[in-house]
Structure 1
Amino acid sequence: MCGIYGTTIPYSAEEVKSKLERIAFRGPDQSGSQLFELDNGQVILGHNRLSIIDLDKRSNQPFTYNDNIHIVFNGEIYNFRYLKKILEQKGYLFKTTSDTEVICAAYLEYGKDCVSHLNGMFAFVIFDQAQQILFGARDRLGQKPFYYYHAGKNFEFASQVSSIQQFNDKLSISKDSISQYLSWGYVPDPFTIFNEVKKLRAGHVFTFRIKTGEFESNGFWDIDYKATSTFPGTYEEAQTELERLISDSVKLRLFADVPVGVFLSGGIDSSLVTALATKTTAEKVKTFSVKFNKQGFDESQFASKVADYLNTEHHVIECDYGEGLNLIDSFSYYYDEPFADASAIPSMLLSKYTKNHVTVALSGDAGDEAFIGYHRYNWMSYIEKAFRAPSRIRLAFAYLLKKVPYYKLQFIGSIMGMKDINLAYLSTVSGLNSTWANGNTDTANLVEAKYLYHTCKNIYERVSDFDIKTYLNSDINTKVDRASMAYSLEIRSPLMDYRIIEFSRMLPTDFKFQKGNQKRILKDVLYRHVPKTFFERPKSGFTMPFKEWFRNELKDYVLSELNDTGLRQIPSIDQQEVKSIINMHMTAKANNYPIIWRLLILKQWLKNNARFALK
């Protein structure tokens, strides 16, 4: 896991060094850059290394293969040993035991199609000196970030936008992106908070021609959202195949030249990853969970119970909420775009203390999206029934609910009043129907709307597909990447193996969701290894008590930051309505902490980036 950087802009050596130092936490083991002088300009490649595979300096980057291929790479290629054998049979020679070198050889053998042969999480750029091009790619599910700036022959890329914004006086803050952020809690791909900087979309490659400045990007992978293939076997056969896939995925991700552990929350997904890890390695598995010192937010006992049963070397990390509060001040330094998922704070705490024991940790991310696990999916089963009723009756009922003086019923009423079920779902996962955020995002311009607005699948599969392409990519992966990289910890997610995602898209809905039983097949695979009784409790999230904090410990902070003066500094909001929202929360008439947190983070980011104009 690393931080990459590169540019054709003639920055000085000191400026490039500063850009790398800005994200040094991503790769503290080695930092370096290389300048390539060209007839018509130059290329600079830079890299911060977190050593995971082949710890020798021979694998430091920028890395050169066969004289003309130069690469900077962030991520891991899990099948590199298998791919290396194939390439060796074709005559390729290797001087290291790293996956970086394998990417270079794969590029020479397969060209731009090399990415189709890679199973991993990655963002890389190859400078092909013979062809005078930069070729780059981002993994299928967007686990690794990739930002770029393109203006004519000027091209710059980095793992985080903070490296690009240094020494660049041509950037401006995007009003449209602020509106997107206020709706979703993040700035969705391919946009960033700056008008002039973009994210490479997940599952895409690009080519930049140095001589002409031409930039071209194309997709190389997507989910089967049109349901062109289905699993032909029985439920029992599907369980067996899924277990085989997850076991292989876990085995691949346990390989490293540094200590590896597993995040174990005690929930379905992390327990399954842990259980299969104990089956695929002879070493005792190290597991990690976090214990918070506030009643009602400590579920570490569930993780300890699973750990005892599986006989892991379990570590319970005790975190003080005061430490979590302190992280708020440095939040925008690591999440260098506005980002409003409050579970980022406990994720940072877990990563901070896990790094004291291991350099790599496996997680259970993607189980909810791929196997219909979120509460809102179950809720959609009720909403779907409402939308089957005649619209006249549904709209009348929605009108009555919105008149009830209870915010949850009012929200349900607003959802039932939507023109279709797709828009109803969009409104549950965003602020698209919020009147407090002016200039809200137009869903007609949402690229990912195609995963919802079709009739090839039922509503459960469509919202699952939509979340894989949006929430998993832009929220979960961003949260995990920044939280772990802040402490130079690499996170690997076995359930995000593209083979498992593709398999989940083939399964009939009732294999995943049946009579309210969410993640049915994942649970049944897990129950082969851990007793079912361990998990007979409501699903819980991974969060901190911001609802209570904002009414107590942080009340003065909230009211001072979001007073009249503070609210005037935040664009695209209705100040009077926001004041009402804050008052409703403080008087316990509603739970509006997500909106308050969203505004606090945005205000902090705008304050730290005041030198950029808003356009």
Structure 2
Amino acid sequence: MCGLAGFFGGTSADGKIGEAMARAIVHRGPDDGGIWADRENAIVLAHRRLAILDLSPAGHQPMQSHCGRYVMVFNGEIYNHRALRQELEADGDAPQWRGESDSETLLALFSAVGISGALDRLVGMFAVAVFDRKEKTLSLTRDRMGEKPLYFGWVDGGFAFASELKAISTVPGFHGRIDRAGLGHFVRYGFVPAPNCIWQDLYKLEAGCLLTLSLEATKAAPAAVPSAPMSEPDFAIQRYWDVRDAMRAGAGNSVSDKREAQALLHAQLRDTVQLQAQADVPVGAFLSGGCDSSLICALLQESLPGAIDTFTLGFDEARLDESPYARAVAQHLGTRHHEMMVTARDAQDVIPDLPSIYDEPFADSSQIPTFLVCKMARRNVTVSLSGDGGDELFGGYDRYDQAAALWPKLTKLPVPARKALGKVLAMGLHAPGLGKMDMRQRGRLEKLGAILSEARTLDDLYEQVMRIWPAKGPAAPLPHDVRTDWSGVDLDDPVTSMMLADQRLFLPDDIMVKVDRAAMAVSLETRAPLLDHRLVELAWRFPSEWKAGAGQSKDLLREILYEYVPRDYFDRPKAGFSIPVGTYLRGPLRDWAEALLAEERLAENFYPVPIRRRWAEHLSGARDWTQSLWAICMFEAWRESATAAGNASPALN
């Protein structure tokens, strides 16, 4: 795991710019760093290295190919790089290897089959920037499921790119201006979906994409938001892999026998975990006590000699604390278990660092325990495997079951009847007799009213489920031409549609952002075996009814897990990985939040009235507005941090 950065074009492409960009992301790679600058072609590449494979200087980056054509900076891991070396050797395309790093393998593959031709053969997580000295073009690419981040954009007459925005902010001439669309997306969902970014003229490369540009294209941003597919003179973005294609291919090659499905899945999981267990540094795993992490720990323990290190957090609130279950699983598997009980003070101490850790405003409050467990793990290992992806691939979220039950009934109602029922429900929620209704029940009914009033398609349904503020909320409405393309496919199966939307956007733009930034802040590499694209493609071959909609949540994974851990260890409701932020906002964080939610401050970017109303209702205990208020607090804390660093305009332009 590493950090990359660079600048192409303009007058700033020199070693000093590279050094400044690299310093900003030194936490991503404390072991080594390097700069490569080519004044003739106006490009500089910078790298920070966290050494995982081949700890010797042979893994130093930026790295040049043996043929001299390509110069590369690379963040991530190519898990099948040894097999790729063997293939190159068998084809007569292998150079005289300098070392054992996957970076060298990747460059040799580029030399043999080209950048585009190489991507289909990679198994791994990665963000790559590679300069072609022959064609004088720069290419940026990102892994299929968006595990590794890659930002890019136009700054001061040139093209900047980096693993994190803080590196781009060091470029002379950078003046952060808040992007209206980016802010609008964030307020709606609590994260900024790719290709959007919180800064004007900066973007995220979408998962599974390859961007290529020449020097001419560095002078100004294209007129449209850079999103695949795009082809303009000297600038192009192509999608080399698409989860929508995986879904379609899986439907055309489905597995109808459940035992066969479990056998295929078990074999692929074993192969994936064995690949991801490879490292020249200590490897462990997160263990929450749930299905996904327990299965990964069992497979990792099976793959490595001796006891593996496992890590879990405990919480003061019993309803959130799964540490006893994790402890029981660890004892059964025989792992070397590490446990930390998190107090309110521990959680609150992390909050001041969140704007710096996440660069963009980010409002998934499980970011706090994620950072704490990463910090604990880093004291013992350099690599930790996780169970991320299990919910999105195998139906672990409640919203899948709820959509499967609701949507068939909803579609039987004419649209006018739906809207009328939604209005009646909304009016009823304000009736005096409902004042003592449970907060969660009230919230669910309000969400149902919005769905009845607004949802015409499955994408509309997902939109309403994901929103934390309504369209007419505290931020200016999004421009008419800006819309979140959730599933991107016209489907009639609510489970398939929601899982597809989660895999396309929620997984890379929320879950993976949360994990990558938290881990990299403490120089820990995380790996997610369930996001191996071969496993993703296999999962799409299984019918949706095996995953959700009939009490079948993660049924396929569970049957494999029960071969390692007794079934009764998991006969309990899912608790999730969270802390009681809503309670903290009413208690120890009240003064902090009140300062961030002051009316005069909010007025610089928002309509204060709906925010202040929700804040008052939350404090009184009448409603639980944790998600929506946490989003506004995180934005204001981020803006304060960026302004103090001299990177942000104080208000939306």
TM range (shorter): over 0.9
Q: Secondary structure at the match of 1:606?
A: helix
Note the aligned Cα RMSD (angstroms). 2.0
Counterpart Cα distance in 2 of 1:431 and 1:20: 36
Task: Tell me the equivalent position of 2:100.
Answer: 97
Is residue 384–residue 421 contact of structure 1 (8 Å, CA) maintained in 2?
no
Q: Secondary structure at the match of 2:332?
A: helix
Counterpart Cα distance in 1 of 2:255 and 2:341: 47
Task: Tell me the equivalent position of 1:155.
Answer: 159
Shift of 1:16: 2.8
Q: Secondary structure at the match of 2:99?
A: coil
Counterpart Cα distance in 1 of 2:46 and 2:177: 25
Is residue 53–residue 102 contact of structure 2 (8 Å, CA) maintained in 1?
yes
Task: Tell me the equivalent position of 1:87.
Answer: 88
Counterpart Cα distance in 1 of 2:419 and 2:480: 21
Compared CA separation, residues 211 and 429, structure 1 to 2 (3 A): closer
Counterpart Cα distance in 2 of 1:558 and 1:211: 47
Q: Secondary structure at the match of 2:577?
A: coil
What letter is aligned with 1:24?
V
Q: Which one of the candidate residues 443, 446, 471 is aligned to 1:410?
A: 446
Q: Which one of the candidate residues 156, 177, 180 is aligned to 2:182?
A: 177
Q: Does residue 583 in structure 1 map to residue 588 in structure 2?
A: no
Compared CA separation, residues 578 and 474, structure 1 to 2 (3 A): same
Is residue 129–residue 140 contact of structure 2 (8 Å, CA) maintained in 1?
yes
Task: Tell me the equivalent position of 2:128.
Answer: 124
Shift of 1:417: 2.3
Shift of 1:447: 5.4
Is residue 316–residue 342 contact of structure 2 (8 Å, CA) maintained in 1?
yes
Counterpart Cα distance in 2 of 1:212 and 1:604: 35
Counterpart Cα distance in 2 of 1:397 and 1:16: 59
Q: Does residue 196 in structure 1 map to residue 201 in structure 2?
A: yes
Q: Secondary structure at the match of 2:139?
A: strand
Higher mean C-alpha displacement, 151-160 vs 315-324: 151-160
Shift of 1:174: 0.6
Shift of 1:464: 0.4
Task: Tell me the equivalent position of 1:218.
Answer: 238
Shift of 1:465: 0.4
Q: Which one of the candidate residues 600, 605, 614 is aligned to 2:633?
A: 600
Shift of 1:42: 2.2
Higher mean C-alpha displacement, 370-379 vs 409-418: 409-418
Q: Secondary structure at the match of 1:76?
A: strand
| Residues 238-294 of structure 1 deviation map (CA, whole Å, 9 limit, x = unaligned) | 000001111111111000000000101010100111111222222322111112344
Task: Tell me the equivalent position of 2:267.
Answer: 244
Is residue 255–residue 543 contact of structure 2 (8 Å, CA) maintained in 1?
no
Written as runs of structure 1 = structure 2, the 5 A alignment for 1:42-61 is: 42-61=42-61
Shift of 1:376: 1.1
Written as runs of structure 1 = structure 2, the 5 A alignment for 1:473-552 is: 473-513=508-548, 515-552=550-587
Q: Which one of the candidate residues 350, 354, 360 is aligned to 2:373?
A: 350
Shift of 1:441: 4.1
Task: Tell me the equivalent position of 2:7.
Answer: 7
Counterpart Cα distance in 1 of 2:336 and 2:217: 56
Structure 1 residue ranges without an equivalent (≥5): none
Shift of 1:365: 0.4
Shift of 1:318: 3.0
Counterpart Cα distance in 2 of 1:75 and 1:292: 32
What letter is aligned with 1:191?
N
Is residue 308–residue 335 contact of structure 2 (8 Å, CA) maintained in 1?
yes
Q: Which one of the candidate residues 384, 389, 394 is aligned to 1:366?
A: 389
What letter is aligned with 1:217?
I
Is residue 272–residue 526 contact of structure 1 (8 Å, CA) maintained in 2?
yes
| Residues 428-485 of structure 1 deviation map (CA, whole Å, 9 limit, x = unaligned) | 1124634333334479743534x25513x51110110011001001000100000000
Given the two structures, how large is their TM-score scaled by the length of structure 1? 0.95
Percent identity, aligned pairs only?
Answer: 31
Q: Secondary structure at the match of 1:525?
A: helix
Task: Tell me the equivalent position of 2:213.
Answer: 208
| Residues 110-157 of structure 1 deviation map (CA, whole Å, 9 limit, x = unaligned) | 112211110000001112212212122100011000011237972221
Q: Does residue 168 in structure 1 map to residue 173 in structure 2?
A: yes
Task: Tell me the equivalent position of 2:192.
Answer: 187
Counterpart Cα distance in 2 of 1:148 and 1:171: 14
Counterpart Cα distance in 1 of 2:51 and 2:258: 42
Is residue 259–residue 360 contact of structure 1 (8 Å, CA) maintained in 2?
yes
Q: Which one of the candidate residues 120, 142, 145 is aligned to 2:146?
A: 142
Compared CA separation, residues 442 and 152, structure 1 to 2 (3 A): closer
Task: Tell me the equivalent position of 1:420.
Answer: 456
Counterpart Cα distance in 2 of 1:510 and 1:22: 47
Is residue 33–residue 46 contact of structure 1 (8 Å, CA) maintained in 2?
yes
Shift of 1:329: 0.8
Higher mean C-alpha displacement, 354-363 vs 322-331: 322-331
Q: Secondary structure at the match of 1:126?
A: strand
Task: Tell me the equivalent position of 1:380.
Answer: 403
Counterpart Cα distance in 1 of 2:455 and 2:319: 38
Counterpart Cα distance in 2 of 1:442 and 1:151: 23
Counterpart Cα distance in 2 of 1:493 and 1:176: 31
Is residue 179–residue 437 contact of structure 1 (8 Å, CA) maintained in 2?
no
Q: Does residue 334 in structure 1 map to residue 339 in structure 2?
A: no
Task: Tell me the equivalent position of 2:422.
Answer: 398
Task: Tell me the equivalent position of 2:27.
Answer: 25
What letter is aligned with 2:524?
L
Compared CA separation, residues 297 and 35, structure 1 to 2 (3 A): same
Shift of 1:313: 1.2
Q: Secondary structure at the match of 2:320?
A: coil
Compared CA separation, residues 594 and 512, structure 1 to 2 (3 A): same
Task: Tell me the equivalent position of 1:70.
Answer: 71
Compared CA separation, residues 121 and 195, structure 1 to 2 (3 A): same
Counterpart Cα distance in 1 of 2:480 and 2:583: 33
Compared CA separation, residues 444 and 303, structure 1 to 2 (3 A): farther
Shift of 1:533: 0.7
What letter is aligned with 2:215?
I
Q: Which one of the candidate residues 33, 36, 39 is aligned to 1:34?
A: 36
Shift of 1:500: 1.0
| Residues 373-393 of structure 1 deviation map (CA, whole Å, 9 limit, x = unaligned) | 101111112321430332355
- Matched residue count: 609
Compared CA separation, residues 84 and 607, structure 1 to 2 (3 A): same
Counterpart Cα distance in 1 of 2:411 and 2:607: 35
Written as runs of structure 1 = structure 2, the 5 A alignment for 1:462-477 is: 462-477=497-512
What letter is aligned with 2:637?
Q
Higher mean C-alpha displacement, 587-596 vs 5-14: 5-14
Counterpart Cα distance in 1 of 2:328 and 2:206: 40
Compared CA separation, residues 332 and 195, structure 1 to 2 (3 A): same
Compared CA separation, residues 72 and 419, structure 1 to 2 (3 A): closer
Counterpart Cα distance in 2 of 1:349 and 1:182: 25
Q: Secondary structure at the match of 1:172?
A: coil
Higher mean C-alpha displacement, 378-387 vs 363-372: 378-387
Counterpart Cα distance in 1 of 2:75 and 2:583: 39
Counterpart Cα distance in 1 of 2:213 and 2:156: 11
Counterpart Cα distance in 1 of 2:73 and 2:281: 21
Shift of 1:69: 2.0
Counterpart Cα distance in 2 of 1:325 and 1:335: 16
